[in-house]
A and B are shown apart, each in its own frame.
Chain A
Amino acid sequence: MIDYTKYRLKPKNELDDVLKEVPGLFAIWCKKCYKAFENEEMPECNNFVELISEKDKIKGRLGIDFLCNRFLTEKNIKNLPENISIGVISCGLGIQTIAKLMENKGIRVLALADTVPQSGNASSIAGYHGITLGSEKCAGCAQCYLGITGGLCPVVDCAKSLLNGPCGGAKDGKCEVIAEKDCVWIEIFKRMQKQKREMSHPIKVRDYNKFSSSEEKKISTISFEKRTENFYGGVHPSEKKEITENLPIEEFPQSKYMFVFLSQHAGYPATAVVKQGERVKFGQKIAESSGLISAPVHCPVSGRVTAIEEKLHPTLLRKMPAIIIENDFSDERDDDIVSCSEWHSVPAEKLIELVKQKGIVGLGGAMFPTHVKFFPPKKPLDTLIVNGCECEPYLNADNRLMIEHPEEILQGIMLARKILGVNNVIIGIEENKPVAIENMKRAIGEKQGFILKELKTKYPQGAEKMLIRTTLGRRVPDGGLPLDVGVVVLNVGTVFAIYRAIVQGLPLVKRVITVSGEFERQGNFEIRMGTPFKDILEFCKSKISENAQEYCLKMGGPMMGIIQTDPDSAVIKGTTGFVLAKKFFVDSSEKNTCIKCGRCVDVCPMELYPLYYAYYGTRKMWEKCVEYGVKNCIECGCCQYICSSKIALVDLIKQAKRNANNKT
């Protein structure tokens, strides 16, 4: 790997001259990019102070990663002392970024470093490496010649940037301008011989106007907009939603044996209230909630309890107790299922109790018990946000619900609105679901207090904090909850479940999931909790016949989903889908070295610096991870998705969070 060191300090006399002109200097230095991240210390700032004569003029210093990221840099520069100039140790981009930021504050910005030229080529000045640290460089000439030169670039690697053969000045294969360089035209000739090709292309003249500045401006603008639209960061993975978006929800066939986990929610696992051999009915409560943050579990079929045994839990990934029920396929309903269409006259406390008794939890994946969100808040609450973003690729469960059951969802929202005592409802749906948007709009009609927001498609738009930022412009404080900014967020699936629980009396025993990817039978299924994975695999049938190790099955979407290996595990309330997709050909690993390409910082929607979790995580320095805000991470996986070194960042982040919690 090559260290693309981008800058070096200016010589002492120049620095001293610069310092003479200013009363005081605040030094900002960039922590560098495109280098193997093996050492946290960057000596540049100390070297600068060592070097200069008037050391007492330094009024402060600040190291920032990726100074050219204007958005984050602006956030990081605060509490500047009075009456100073700012000296910047960085490449030209960082200096210009700071100069622009300080323009209207009237603060002078000084360059303390020179940018190190990368091309080493006098006539073709520009030469840019790729995202990773290889030796090949590209000049971005907009008229690639590599096809006719055997893959060696004459623009960057010939000192004279000749396009039509060697100058004739090479001696012993070396360039006449830069004696230590090989003549690239000789290399081109050798390469072409190896490929048995002739060099016979017509004469090329370089067109310096190939990429017009208006075109460049257009692409720059698109790129800027993509990065900051809705919220900072985020990624746009291939959606693949078209595969299942037009497939109506089907009932998934019942299984002979159901494995109903006692832990299907965030918080304490429920306590079983049935015994082995006992007969159970559809919708009967079979486990009671066991704490403030907990939820009861109901029987998804009718039949007999054959055992309570441990099975591999799909999200906790350890053995957890599950009630095994043998299905008699009679679907005999429990007496507790009583419909209540007159909910308008039922007091809110009673409705909360119903939500609790029916085991409703957040169906977006986090499985937070819904009744807890409904407890009368200690803080003012003004808006209910209904989350219909479903930003994970492949998944269409929420989309189909909105298409097929808009009226029921609307009633669910009215119920939630009554319980919470708020009037304002915002329904956020991504633009890639036009039918759902239309149907929801029709259902809302002229009703007061409802706003349907069409949001630009961007992952992770469906994350609570991003959604609040996009729809209301409010920022949930670090470590805070949506309630801290007067908001409760509910998923459309959850709202639908509330409707069913109260109006139809049905406890949460079924949900809609999407099965997609390399399956023969893909679709959206209404499935009962406790359906074993092996039955899903048997029903949907994997298309993969060979090289099975190149694929992986995830519960949830490809971004945040959890890899499943045990067919004996089962569907829980938080299952949003199953996706069987090809893995990237290199596995993400904790061992790969970070090269500070900065892509993770570019996409992190929480505005964190994920590269530090790679650096400190692999060194097991968890308290440092906390310092860099690991607790604010929402584990959306954008950083790992974009990582050019394929570092298993999400694993490291989870470890960091676990270890940080153990210590405090």
Chain B
Amino acid sequence: MLITKPKDSREIESYFEKRVFVFKCYGCREVYFPEQEINKFVEERAKSISGIAEVDYLCNESFSKIYIEKNAHVIRNSDVIVVFSCGVGSQVISKLMENNIVVPGCDTCYLNGFQGLTVLDCDCNQCGECYLNYTGGICPITSCAKNLLNGPCGGAKNNKCEVNPEVDCGWIAIYERLMKINKEKILVENKIFVRNFEKIIKGK
């Protein structure tokens, strides 16, 4: 899931020295949108703001286009357009207004489970060659910090990853899952996997 957090104010402060038009995209509000922080930030700089658009799904190009056409006189006469949305929304507005300076007001972060419809505690890396058959349905690429395909690195301490102690070792979870379905032998019987990155380029 793509979510946003406001950029450090020092990073975008200088834009507000000119006339700014602000886009706020509420599309993902039900998941997470730092609405209050952004509202406060914008209110504090009210005197340099020429207009505020509160819309949802900026990424829907046809709707965004209609909005821009309807409000063209205000938007195009602003010096800078600051977009509080995910990177997709910022790119769509940039594309629609190629001749204007469009800057993002947020950093976009990734929550597990984006390509599905909702936030999840598991994730898919879109590798193009699913390994889940051999790992009891736990993805080694997304649950192992080192993306190891052929077993653990051996560095886990008390079940925790050595790269990031906040996270459980994915390979221990895989082993435990396979024990539950009496298939732990898979791990020793299988051939060695080498990841084929070409699948990503030719994925389309």
With a CB–CB cut-off of 8 A, which chain B residues contact A140?
2, 86-87, 108-110, 114
Q: Which listed segment binds B: A207-215, A396-404, A498-506?
A: A207-215
Q: A112-136, CB under 8 A of B: which get 1 and which 0? A: 0111111111100110111110101
Complex contact A153–B91 (CB within 8 A): yes
Q: B150-182, CB under 8 A of A: which get 1 and which 0? A: 000000000000001011000000000100111
Q: B89-112, CB under 8 A of A: which get 1 and which 0? A: 111111100111111101111111
Say yes or no: A106-B180 contact (C-beta < 8 A), given A95-B137, A117-B127.
yes
- How far, in whole Å, are A147 and B106 apart by their CA atoms in the complex? 10
- How far, in whole Å, are A97 and B102 apart by their CA atoms in the complex? 39
B interface, size bucket: 35 or more
20 further A-B contacts with Cβ under 8 Å, apart from A93-B115, A147-B103, are A6-B115, A18-B133, A92-B132, A93-B120, A96-B138, A97-B122, A100-B122, A102-B137, A104-B180, A114-B199, A115-B124, A131-B57, A131-B59, A141-B107, A213-B167, A214-B166, A220-B119, A227-B118, A585-B55, A644-B27
A58 within 8 A of B: no
Interface residues of B (CB under 8 A from A): 1-3, 5, 7, 12, 27-32, 55-61, 63, 66-67, 70, 86-95, 98-104, 106-133, 136-139, 164, 166-167, 177, 180-183, 197-201, 203-204
Choose one: B109, B122, B199; the contact of A96 (CB below 8 Å): B122
What are 7 A-B interface contacts by the 8 Å CB criterion? Answer: A147-B104, A151-B90, A151-B93, A223-B32, A235-B30, A602-B30, A642-B30
Q: Quick one: closest B residue to A223, CB to CB?
A: B119
Complex contact A130–B86 (CB within 8 A): yes
Complex contact B130–A66 (CB within 8 A): no
Instruction: Say whether chain B's binding surface is mostly helix, strand, loop, or mixed.
Output: loop
Complex contact A153–B87 (CB within 8 A): yes
- How far, in whole Å, are A212 and B165 apart by their CA atoms in the complex? 12
With a CB–CB cut-off of 8 A, which chain A residues contact B204?
120
Complex contact B116–A68 (CB within 8 A): yes
A138 within 8 A of B: yes
Choose one: A113, A130, A236, A586; the contact of B29 (CB below 8 Å): A236
- How far, in whole Å, are A153 and B182 apart by their CA atoms in the complex? 46
Say yes or no: A150-B94 contact (C-beta < 8 A), given A93-B113, A118-B115.
yes
- How far, in whole Å, are A100 and B138 apart by their CA atoms in the complex? 8
Complex contact B180–A103 (CB within 8 A): yes
A662 within 8 A of B: no
Q: A442-461, CB under 8 A of B: which get 1 and which 0? A: 00000000000000000000
Task: Sort A-B residue pairs by CB-CB distance and give the 3 closest, nearest first.
Answer: A99-B137, A151-B94, A130-B59
| Most chain A C-beta atoms within 10 Å of own C-beta, residue among B115, B164, B183 | B115
Q: Quick one: closest A residue to B106, CB to CB?
A: A144
Q: Quick one: closest A residue to B145, CB to CB?
A: A213
Complex contact A138–B200 (CB within 8 A): no
Complex contact A128–B110 (CB within 8 A): yes
Q: A583-607, CB under 8 A of B: which get 1 and which 0? A: 0111000000000011101110000
A472 within 8 A of B: no
With a CB–CB cut-off of 8 A, which chain A residues contact B28?
131
With a CB–CB cut-off of 8 A, which chain B residues contact A258?
none
With a CB–CB cut-off of 8 A, which chain A residues contact B200?
117, 119-122, 125
- How far, in whole Å, are A125 and B196 apart by their CA atoms in the complex? 12
With a CB–CB cut-off of 8 A, which chain B residues contact A111?
130-133, 137
Complex contact A220–B110 (CB within 8 A): no
With a CB–CB cut-off of 8 A, which chain A residues contact B121?
220
- How far, in whole Å, are A95 and B197 apart by their CA atoms in the complex? 21
A98 within 8 A of B: yes
Complex contact A117–B30 (CB within 8 A): no
Complex contact A137–B102 (CB within 8 A): no
Complex contact A117–B128 (CB within 8 A): yes
A57 within 8 A of B: no
A426 within 8 A of B: no
> Which residues in chain A, 596-621, are within 8 Å of chain B measured between CB atoms?
597-599, 601-603
A646 within 8 A of B: yes
